[in-house]
Amino acid sequence: MRGPKRAPAIRFAAKIPIRTHVLTEKDDIVEVARRYTEGIANRGDVIALAESAVAITQGRAVLPETVRPGRLARFLCRFPTKSGSLATPVAMQLAIDEVGRARILAGCAAAAVGKILGKKGLFYIVAGRELALIDDVAGTMYPYERHVVLGPKDPAKVVKDIKKATGAEAVIADVNDLGCVDIIGISNKLYADAVKDALRDNPFGNEDEQTPIVVLKRAGRGRLPSTTCLPGPGSGKITTKGGEGLA
């Protein structure tokens, strides 16, 4: 007796970085995604967005000089590693403002226990995963390179709205140059593994490249040229892998 048919593996044939204008809190990220991917992303493709770009359009970029860290923030910021996102008084104060003192203290208690047991990440499990998305002053696109950027609000709704507006799947991801991919929101979980593989080389450009959107073209939807320039307000190159899927 035959078992149920397995769904075909999802593979991507190309990654297309999309150049946009400078995004600000005045932009609607759903409309931005729709406008810049029109004629490029089709049903079955994936529109991937950098989490910092989504957060910026939601008004979640904060100038450090507008934040007054309290005693608790100044004390607690001593404990994360220097490379951690909460290692400054300002970032820690924003974390406290985001989830409240009680959750922060509970997370600190969990982290202390985790240190004894040799388990990492308990602070964020208890205090809130969203706190790991806080980008302290560094690598954010102009003109927000001096801002602290909080994680995006309601990412599940954002990707749902983008899918409704475009017909393509959507994902919000936090990707670094070490190949770590954290999916913040995705419209179809069946795409998760393929999307992670496709984004490991961090095709987003949050600085001079100004390409916070990447379209992942699904394999088997017509042959693509090795490189091509995009028309319209954004421009970029299609990156392919020998005519095969990237994931």
CA angle 112-116-118, nearest 5°? 105
Q: Which residues contact 121 (CB under 8 A, 6 or more apart)?
A: 114
**Crossing angle for the helix pair 89-99 and 101-117, to the nearest 10 degrees:** 110
d(CA 80, CA 239): 38
d(CA 85, CA 226): 38
Domain boundaries, the chain: 12-59+152-240, 61-149
pTM of the model: 0.83
Q: What topology is assigned to 12-59+152-240 in CATH? A: 60s Ribosomal Protein L30; Chain: A; (3.30.1330)
CA angle 145-148-149, nearest 5°? 95
d(CA 145, CA 112): 32
CA angle 201-31-19, nearest 5°? 40
d(CA 194, CA 198): 6
List the chain pLDDT tens, one digit each, 247 residues: 555 555 568 899 999 999 999 999 999 999 999 999 999 999 999 999 999 999 999 999 999 999 999 999 999 999 887 777 899 999 999 999 999 999 999 999 999 999 999 998 899 999 998 999 998 766 566 788 889 999 999 999 999 999 999 999 999 999 887 778 999 999 999 999 999 999 999 998 766 568 899 999 998 765 554 434 343 344 444 443 333 344 4
Specify whether the CB–CB gap between 41 and 166 falls below 8 A.
Answer: yes
